[in-house]
Chains A and B, each alone.
Chain A
Amino acid sequence: MNAVAAPSPRRITWLRRRRAVAAAWREYRHHLPGMVGLGILVIAVAMALAAPLLADPDGLKAVNTTDNPAWASPSEFGPLGTDNFGRSVMTQFIWGSRISLLVGLAATVLAVVIGSVVGIVAGFFGGRVGGVLMRITEWFLVIPFLPLAIVLAAILGPSVENIILVIGITTWPQPARLIRAQVLTLRERDYVDRSRALGASNWHLMTRHILPNVSPLILANTTLTVPIVILTEATLSFLGLGDPANASWGKMLDNAFEFGAVTLEAWWYFVPPGLGILLVALAFTLCGTALEEILDPRLRDRRA
């Protein structure tokens, strides 16, 4: 008789996953580019969350800034100068980070969720269902996504929700294709056959065996999709399709160009938001590449 009760299967699984995450983190900690990326992201997220403490949102409205000089350089009006309405660029930069990060994360999650569902179903079932799903995915891959996003955003009108929706439904095919390829190899594994022989339903197989095994890939892919989404948001906003009431960094660039910051050489209005986009996109790329290398041992040799 065994005096110690055997831990439940659920607990074993949980312990195993926790150990895997801890091991991955130990490796991640020694990945310098990955840690640099993570550091930038922590700062950016902290700035976005603390926006109400850092800058008064009243400063975003032109009616409140009539006393400020217009187009003041950083040396005349600290720390980053003012725009054509005399609004502080710093205030806009801090509040813009919220919208850029929100759209970047929310649209990515939307795209990856759609992509994962399509990819898993297409890969798992194969045959006719999978074939049709993949054909649709390939069609959407061929539609140039920026013009499609432009057309959709123009139809739906400029708002933060619509931008998220538009980017989400134009970005899902890439994750779908990637995840399907992975599921195709997983489907053939012995443990899937074994589980099926024991009477597992398709739903059980997909959610308990396939999904946990593709989730590292999904995580890495999500991180690598965010920069693309952030750049798309910036471009759409620049083309005048961003929410004027909730200005993102991209919208700031649109305003700067529209009101002639280039001809006035008012670099302080457009350098900070562009730099913000560059740093956040770069940080996500660094984190995503690091995750990929840690989660996929075949890529380890590629590491710089």
Chain B
Amino acid sequence: MTTRYLTAKVAGSLATLLFIVCFNFFLFRIVDSDPVANLFRGRNLTQSQRAELTKQFGLDKSTGGQFVDYLKQTAQLNLGRSYTSNQPVWSEIKDKAGPTIALVGISAVLSAVFGVLLGIAAAWRRRTKTDYSVTGFSMATFSLPDFWLGMILLTIFAVGLGLFPTGGIEDPSSTATGLAKLPDQAQHIFLPALTLTVAYLGEYTLVMRSSLLETMREDYLVLARAKGLRDVLVRNRHAVPNALLPVVALLAINLGFVLAGAIAVEAIFSWPGLGLATYEAIKGPDLPMLQGLFLVFSLSMIVFNLIADLLYGYLDPRVRTA
């Protein structure tokens, strides 16, 4: 990969990061015009207490001064305190990132793998019953609200049949520690992971299908057939690796998106991750928490976009020189 391509992409991401950080400041200044009143809602503050707090929070400074403070604190990962728990926002986010990464990571990998396989099957058997049913199923999963699917699965398999727990990450009464927790956690993650996998499956299937159909028209595939290669070899060695390019990019971009996209599903399954934290912060409204979450979600988008760009540049030499 050329250094020029690399520098351009990294510089672009840094510029975007700077934009997001500034945007985050001004967006929430519009919302949270009086943090002192919000933080001490329902308590009577004397005039001098108010003035003291305003000074303590640095709110007596000019907008410019506050902006500089904000930049310094953000750089030190000081994102303020949650209105509801009164804990530092950063430590709250750190605690909740694990469950979300586990849930989203598993679902992203599963949906990509199964989506690619279904997409290959549909494209290879174009205009057959397989193709029609796979395409129809993918379009349907693409069109359904993921949390609605979660509600249905929850009603049938957890409430109705009692096969799975109705929510949370582990049985609170369990005394297991370390690795012994895994079977219990696997049971808890099953339904939310299934929901997200099905919800994101369709996009991969459709992208893989159309990408493979496009690849199959290329000259080198005609040549591969003409020199007498078996169909399976043509497909697995020549067509699929090249058709995978857009899927790789989609996976990287989706990983950035899905982190925030799991909000409603986490709420349904009370999965103690960033999504549930967002859901609760909205109900508050807990503005410092929302602001921190917004920053983290944006950051993950930037990082995964950069990964997608670099990966694409690495896999497809044509992109680098463009």
Binding site for B on A (CB under 8 A): 138-139, 142-144, 146-148, 150-151, 154-155, 227, 231, 234-235, 238-241, 250, 253, 256-257, 261-263, 265, 267, 270-271, 273-274, 277-279, 281-282, 285-286, 301-302, 304
8 A Cβ contacts from B128-179 to A:
131-132, 135, 139-140, 142-145, 147-149, 151-152, 154-155, 159-160, 166
Set A148, A267, A274, A301: member contacting B213, Cβ < 8 A: A301
Stretch at the interface among B100-108, B233-241, B293-301: B293-301
Using Cβ atoms and an 8 Å threshold, which residues of chain B touch A231?
143, 145
Asked if B151 and A270 sit within 8 Å, CB to CB, the answer is yes
Going nearest first, the 6 A-B pairs with the smallest beta carbon separation are A274-B148, A281-B143, A282-B143, A144-B260, A144-B297, A278-B144
Q: A234-B148, A238-B147 are in contact. List 10 more A-B contacts (CB 8 A).
A: A142-B301, A144-B297, A144-B298, A147-B263, A256-B151, A262-B154, A265-B155, A267-B155, A274-B144, A302-B213
Asked if A278 and B298 sit within 8 Å, CB to CB, the answer is no
Nearest residue, chain A, Cβ from B158: A262
Asked if B260 and A151 sit within 8 Å, CB to CB, the answer is no
* A144-B301 CB under 8 A given contacts A234-B145, A238-B145, A253-B145: yes
B119 at the interface (CB under 8 A from A): no
Nearest residue, chain B, Cβ from A289: B139
* A147-B278 CB under 8 A given contacts A253-B147, A302-B213: yes
Q: Report B280 CB to chain A, min CB distance, Å.
A: 11
Asked if B143 and A278 sit within 8 Å, CB to CB, the answer is yes
30 interchain pairs, CB-CB under 8 A: A139-B16, A144-B297, A147-B263, A147-B294, A147-B297, A147-B298, A150-B278, A150-B290, A151-B27, A151-B28, A231-B143, A231-B145, A234-B145, A235-B145, A239-B267, A239-B279, A239-B282, A250-B145, A253-B145, A253-B151, A265-B155, A267-B155, A274-B145, A277-B144, A278-B144, A278-B145, A282-B139, A282-B143, A285-B143, A286-B139
Asked if B160 and A282 sit within 8 Å, CB to CB, the answer is no
Binding site for A on B (CB under 8 A): 16, 19-20, 23, 27-28, 30-31, 126-127, 131-132, 135, 139-140, 142-145, 147-149, 151-152, 154-155, 159-160, 166, 210, 213-214, 217, 256-257, 259-261, 263-264, 267-268, 278-279, 282-283, 285, 290, 293-294, 297-298, 300-302, 305
Using Cβ atoms and an 8 Å threshold, which residues of chain A touch B213?
301-302
Asked if B131 and A304 sit within 8 Å, CB to CB, the answer is yes
Q: Report B13 CB to chain A, min CB distance, Å.
A: 9
* A263-B126 CB under 8 A given contacts A142-B298, A238-B264, A256-B151: no
Asked if B143 and A304 sit within 8 Å, CB to CB, the answer is no
Using Cβ atoms and an 8 Å threshold, which residues of chain A touch B264?
235, 238-239
Using Cβ atoms and an 8 Å threshold, which residues of chain B touch A256?
151
Using Cβ atoms and an 8 Å threshold, which residues of chain A touch B279?
239
Asked if A304 and B126 sit within 8 Å, CB to CB, the answer is yes
Asked if A262 and B20 sit within 8 Å, CB to CB, the answer is no
Q: Report A282 CB to chain B, min CB distance, Å.
A: 4
* A146-B302 CB under 8 A given contacts A238-B145, A253-B147, A262-B159: no
Q: How far, in whole Å, are A261 and B30 apart by their CA atoms in the complex?
A: 37
Using Cβ atoms and an 8 Å threshold, which residues of chain A touch B145?
231, 234-235, 238, 250, 253, 274, 277-278
Nearest residue, chain A, Cβ from B30: A155
Q: How far, in whole Å, are A183 and B142 apart by their CA atoms in the complex?
A: 29
Asked if B260 and A154 sit within 8 Å, CB to CB, the answer is no
Asked if B155 and A262 sit within 8 Å, CB to CB, the answer is yes
Q: Report A154 CB to chain B, min CB distance, Å.
A: 6
Asked if A143 and B283 sit within 8 Å, CB to CB, the answer is no
Asked if A262 and B151 sit within 8 Å, CB to CB, the answer is yes
Q: Report B166 CB to chain A, min CB distance, Å.
A: 8
* A138-B143 CB under 8 A given contacts A257-B268, A262-B155: no
Asked if A270 and B159 sit within 8 Å, CB to CB, the answer is no
Q: How far, in whole Å, are A282 and B127 apart by their CA atoms in the complex?
A: 20
Set A151, A241, A279, A282: member contacting B290, Cβ < 8 A: A151
Using Cβ atoms and an 8 Å threshold, which residues of chain B touch A147?
260, 263, 278, 293-294, 297-298
Q: How far, in whole Å, are A148 and B20 apart by their CA atoms in the complex?
A: 11
Q: How far, in whole Å, are A58 and B301 apart by their CA atoms in the complex?
A: 46
Using Cβ atoms and an 8 Å threshold, which residues of chain A touch B30?
155
Set B127, B140, B263, B290: member contacting A304, Cβ < 8 A: B127
